[in-house]
Structure 1
Amino acid sequence: MKARFRPSLAATAALVALASTSAPVDAQEQVPWTPLNRGSDNIEVLGHLPLGPRLSVADMDVEQEMNRPFAYVSRMVYGDEGPKGLDIISIADPEQPELLYEWRIEDQDLHQRTGGMDVKHFKWNDRYYVVQSLQFGQGGPDTDLGAVVLDVTGLPDASQVEEVARIRAPDMPGGFHNIFIYKHANGRVYLFTTASGPGALIYDLGMVVEGDLDNARVGMVPVGTADGSGGYHDFYVGYHPDTDEDRFYGGGTGGYYIYDVSDVTDPQLRITLTNVSGVSYGHTFTPSPDGRYVIAETEYQYAPLRIFDLQPALDGQQQNISSPISAFTANWKNLVHNHEVRWPYVFVSGYLDGLQIFNLQDPINPITVGYYDTYLGPPNTDRYSMFNGAFGVDVRNEDGLIVISDMSTGLWTFRMDGFQGWNGESWGYPDISSAQDWDAPARRPITFDDDADAPGGN
């Protein structure tokens, strides 16, 4: 089934102005958005799997290997409805997603607050795992529980899914909100996670699954504010080819911060994006494959995605960047949310505006190239009005499959005409995205203050 196009908005610097479509169309030919015309002609809806009560679906993650066609969807409680845990879904046939397995925290009614929020997978020593972040509040059990780790090597046989670890942070109760898993240049696999503390915690997942939980926390990325106070909301970690550094891109108190985490025990601040008009707290923050441009989200109504050019900082002319070069939003009345960069495309889960895709080949002029509205219901009346609809987004690089988790309507699979997969080198960029190469050899030896304390290699 195809969808039709609805115009979106883009902004330059702090101003939001109308953007052109990918292929200019005479205004008389454009079909207005209606519930029967929910998206653009170049977006094909492949499949849809409802997953339960409204506002019970959070973030999601897709494995990248074609022989492991699995999507992981976080399940949360909002109000009195919804489970607390994780769903595992087969997308072997993207037109017919199939629920394979449900993991739920025991004693659902006793556990307070959200439950599952963010989810990521990884590979270690030829086995596959998924990490589900968890948040439980005071008044119930497991307030110190940050995540559960499941061995999912045996999928699609759900009977072989096994819980192997629970990561706790008793010194920072409240759980983990957002997580990112990164295959480091030293060969280790690290979990970066938010917590109720002044920075992002770093866990060695090899140590976690091998049972050394007591020593698995190996570092913390501080917040780059003047006094080091505050915390992070979301982040991305990726290799930066020009400097041969593993770089952390975090949004949180005061704006956005970029650290060199080549030595996870001693992160070094490289670039700040603070004193940005309209940004007091950064959220999702993602770079282009070469690390020059960054897409930055902040969470309030009317806020667009801001696009920043880091070149002056990369050239050493200044450390702080405070002015965006452009911005994107689907509807200025709403709010765009999580995003995945597959240069030059940015795939966005836009809450009430569903899937949004824009082209950033000219970073000063973001151009909408496709969209589909996954949620047709009313705005949220319990929290801020935009908090409903498309929440998580992921892209499978091998074949270009696009997957959305919608808070109230479930899991969706899509294809975009002309996008059959992604490799950065096809666009003259490094082949770097949130997708990890689990089998890549270490690029440099592990760095620790005391080599005797270094964990073993992969």
Structure 2
Amino acid sequence: LAQSSLNVSLFGQLDPEPIHYAGSWAYIAPLGEEYALIGAYHGLSVISIDDSTNIYQVDWVTGPSSNWREITVIGSHAFVVSEGGTGDVGMQVIDLSFLPDSVSQVTTFDSTFGKSHIIEKDILGDPNYVYVCGSAPSAGRGVHIIDVSDPDHPREVAQYAPGYAHDCHVRGDTMYVAAIYDGYLDVVDISDKANPVRITQLFYPNAFTHSCWTSKDNTHLFVTDEVDGLLAHIYDIRDLNNITPVATYSANTQSLIHNCYIRGDFGFVTHNTEGLRILDLVKPDVPVEVGYYDTWAGASGGFHGLWSACPFFPSGKIIGANRHDGLYVWQFNETYAGRIYGLVRDSVTGLPLSAVAIQITQTGDSTLSRTDGSYAFGAIPAGSGGYSVTFIKSGYVSQSLNTPLNAHDSLHFVVDLVPVGFVGTTPALSDEALVFPTKCKGLLKVRSASNFKSELLIFDVNGKLQGTWPIPGPAESHIVLDALPNGVYLFKLSGHQGLHKQGKFVLHR
């Protein structure tokens, strides 16, 4: 069960057919009126959402009975598909131009497929085509590319069908195809709509590739897998022949991520039992959750909660179809995140530290430093007290820092963790003792300015004790290191009254 909401407010809600809901899409009339189109069990519901006090169903178009019904809109026509019915139920084409009075079905395209799972379009590009995925019966059950420039007479121009295509995303001349059961993503050149050609394929561990969407600047791809426990992945796609993973995301790994739709700087994620989640994707390699609204009161996991979300309204409204209780309409206050970057090192050796747990006390969020010691994370802006960030690694003394964090911040901190047992240099003993040279050829010297007895301990860079030498004082003592190989070493000099000194030296003969 997720928390209820953050930075997202409910504008309105409607449950027109209390059975089951699936897809949702936006229609904006010529004079700016906004309508939500949602896929219900027995058909398409067209809902006016301009007035939060009067959200109502304007009209209804019956279709094959199904839990799955998806919609897209081009111009003044809606295109609707479902997995319901028998025979050639095809794609319904619905004229929306007479709203707010009524809508009407003008035709059904059923010449090349019957049932189908989803329908997509290029929301930023060519408005003349729709792309139908997960169809049956049809050879290969791939993607049907359909010319709808004359919506009364749709015309299929090609099929891309190397195998089953569950969903797709189209951006310009490129189509990304989610081959869910085969566990990969196809990247396809569709510059010639009649002749789609595969560019490359993306494979990754445990893939159950369900859906994807490109970032605002078309440099990154957000990919989801429809399985509880699997993370969403973000890939750098600037070079399609070298697609590179850069980040992962999940609000709760007990709940699967269904879809992500990106508008501007934000990703709008349908996260099933975790509801709507909103990500700041200004830096796609460091996605930050900045808002959410939970739509499911039960336990996390399984096929419950939010199916779809559509953020493509000029007003900024977001709509979603919740499986069990219909339409939600939200407003998001567009909170941006700040980000913190840096490096974690061993304070004695200066070497980078990996797998350091980095935790924000106020939020409970955490991340790990990478193999090169670097780290990056983000959070919503801190309050007046700022954030307390703690760095934790076994064998080291934990360290915390306090910092303000504002929207759009990119802060940088280098953190040096002290190994346990090397808790710093005590000034009193620093004044009394000197261990030198820092670069020695086999002879290390300890010199004291007063009469004290101490003990010199030498460790390798992994903290393993290499030897112990008594230092009688006050004269200069010489430590012969013939038994030690060349390398970097740490020392600890313990003196009277618990005083001590620490440091490092390089042995090179």
- TM class, shorter-length: 0.5 to 0.7
1:309 aligns with 2:231: no
1:332 aligns with 2:247: no
1:355 paired residue number: 276
Per-residue displacement from partner, 1:276-331 (whole Å, max 9, x unpaired)?
A: 0110x311111113321000011111112111112343xxxxx253x622111111
CA distance in 2, matches of 1:136, 1:130: 18
Please report how far the alpha carbon of residue 115 of structure 1 lies from its aligned counterpart in structure 2 after TM superposition: 6.1
CA distance in 2, matches of 1:63, 1:355: 20
Q: Against the structure 1 CA distance between its residues 358 and 115, is the aligned structure 2 distance closer, same or farther, given a 3 Å change threshold?
A: closer
Q: Against the structure 1 CA distance between its residues 95 and 250, is the aligned structure 2 distance closer, same or farther, given a 3 Å change threshold?
A: farther
Match of 2:44 among 86, 95, 98: 86
Please report how far the alpha carbon of residue 100 of structure 1 lies from its aligned counterpart in structure 2 after TM superposition: 0.9
- The code of the aligned residue for 1:341 comes to I
Q: Against the structure 1 CA distance between its residues 305 and 190, is the aligned structure 2 distance closer, same or farther, given a 3 Å change threshold?
A: same
TM-score with structure 2 setting the length: 0.60
1:121 paired residue number: 73
Please report how far the alpha carbon of residue 179 of structure 1 lies from its aligned counterpart in structure 2 after TM superposition: 0.4
CA distance in 1, matches of 2:278, 2:334: 13
CA distance in 2, matches of 1:396, 1:208: 22
CA distance in 2, matches of 1:327, 1:184: 25
Match of 1:145 among 89, 98, 114: 89
Which secondary structure does the structure 1 equivalent of 2:18 belong to?
coil
1:278 aligns with 2:220: no
1:390 aligns with 2:390: no
Match of 1:132 among 67, 80, 90: 80
Please report how far the alpha carbon of residue 399 of structure 1 lies from its aligned counterpart in structure 2 after TM superposition: 2.3
1:70 paired residue number: 35
CA distance in 1, matches of 2:54, 2:312: 17
1:49 paired residue number: 14
Please report how far the alpha carbon of residue 208 of structure 1 lies from its aligned counterpart in structure 2 after TM superposition: 4.4
Q: Against the structure 1 CA distance between its residues 360 and 188, is the aligned structure 2 distance closer, same or farther, given a 3 Å change threshold?
A: closer
Does the Cα contact within 8 Å between 2:21 and 2:67 map onto a contact in 1? no
2:145 paired residue number: 202
CA distance in 2, matches of 1:103, 1:64: 18
- The code of the aligned residue for 1:100 comes to V
Does the Cα contact within 8 Å between 1:48 and 1:95 map onto a contact in 2? no
Q: Against the structure 1 CA distance between its residues 257 and 103, is the aligned structure 2 distance closer, same or farther, given a 3 Å change threshold?
A: same
Match of 2:104 among 154, 162, 168: 162
1:19 paired residue number: none
CA distance in 1, matches of 2:282, 2:267: 10
Match of 1:236 among 169, 174, 177: 169
Which secondary structure does the structure 2 equivalent of 1:311 belong to?
coil
Q: Against the structure 1 CA distance between its residues 401 and 95, is the aligned structure 2 distance closer, same or farther, given a 3 Å change threshold?
A: farther
Q: Against the structure 1 CA distance between its residues 102 and 206, is the aligned structure 2 distance closer, same or farther, given a 3 Å change threshold?
A: same
Which secondary structure does the structure 2 equivalent of 1:114 belong to?
coil
Does the Cα contact within 8 Å between 2:268 and 2:309 map onto a contact in 1? yes
- The code of the aligned residue for 2:104 comes to E
1:341 paired residue number: 262
Q: Against the structure 1 CA distance between its residues 96 and 378, is the aligned structure 2 distance closer, same or farther, given a 3 Å change threshold?
A: farther
TM-score with structure 1 setting the length: 0.67
CA distance in 2, matches of 1:101, 1:377: 32
1:220 aligns with 2:159: yes
CA distance in 2, matches of 1:102, 1:271: 42
CA distance in 2, matches of 1:115, 1:299: 17
Does the Cα contact within 8 Å between 2:37 and 2:45 map onto a contact in 1? yes
CA distance in 2, matches of 1:48, 1:180: 25
1:258 paired residue number: 187
1:268 aligns with 2:197: yes
Q: Against the structure 1 CA distance between its residues 217 and 294, is the aligned structure 2 distance closer, same or farther, given a 3 Å change threshold?
A: same
- The code of the aligned residue for 2:50 comes to A
Does the Cα contact within 8 Å between 2:61 and 2:105 map onto a contact in 1? no
CA distance in 2, matches of 1:188, 1:411: 26
1:39 paired residue number: 5
CA RMSD of aligned residues (A): 2.5
CA distance in 1, matches of 2:206, 2:23: 26
Match of 1:103 among 61, 67, 89: 61
Match of 2:318 among 398, 402, 405: 402
Q: Against the structure 1 CA distance between its residues 360 and 184, is the aligned structure 2 distance closer, same or farther, given a 3 Å change threshold?
A: closer
Q: Which has the higher strand share?
A: 2
Q: Against the structure 1 CA distance between its residues 217 and 344, is the aligned structure 2 distance closer, same or farther, given a 3 Å change threshold?
A: same
Please report how far the alpha carbon of residue 396 of structure 1 lies from its aligned counterpart in structure 2 after TM superposition: 3.2
Gaps of 5+ in 1: 7-32, 77-83, 106-110, 223-227, 240-245, 314-318, 380-384, 421-426, 428-458
- The code of the aligned residue for 1:255 comes to Y
Please report how far the alpha carbon of residue 270 of structure 1 lies from its aligned counterpart in structure 2 after TM superposition: 2.5
CA distance in 1, matches of 2:216, 2:289: 20
Q: Against the structure 1 CA distance between its residues 268 and 95, is the aligned structure 2 distance closer, same or farther, given a 3 Å change threshold?
A: farther
Q: Against the structure 1 CA distance between its residues 88 and 232, is the aligned structure 2 distance closer, same or farther, given a 3 Å change threshold?
A: same
Does the Cα contact within 8 Å between 2:290 and 2:335 map onto a contact in 1? no
Does the Cα contact within 8 Å between 1:287 and 1:341 map onto a contact in 2? yes
2:117 paired residue number: 177
Does the Cα contact within 8 Å between 1:296 and 1:305 map onto a contact in 2? yes
2:365 paired residue number: none
Please report how far the alpha carbon of residue 192 of structure 1 lies from its aligned counterpart in structure 2 after TM superposition: 0.5
- The code of the aligned residue for 1:179 comes to I
Higher Cα Rg, which structure: 2
- The code of the aligned residue for 1:181 comes to K
Which secondary structure does the structure 2 equivalent of 1:145 belong to?
coil
CA distance in 2, matches of 1:91, 1:272: 41
- The code of the aligned residue for 1:154 comes to F
CA distance in 2, matches of 1:271, 1:96: 49
Report 1:391-430 matches (<5 A): 391-418=307-334
Please report how far the alpha carbon of residue 268 of structure 1 lies from its aligned counterpart in structure 2 after TM superposition: 2.4
Which stretches of structure 1, 4 residues or more, deviate above 3 A after TM superposition? 182-185
CA distance in 2, matches of 1:311, 1:162: 43
Q: Against the structure 1 CA distance between its residues 219 and 47, is the aligned structure 2 distance closer, same or farther, given a 3 Å change threshold?
A: same
- The code of the aligned residue for 2:59 comes to Y
1:434 paired residue number: none
CA distance in 1, matches of 2:9, 2:84: 38
Which secondary structure does the structure 2 equivalent of 1:325 belong to?
strand
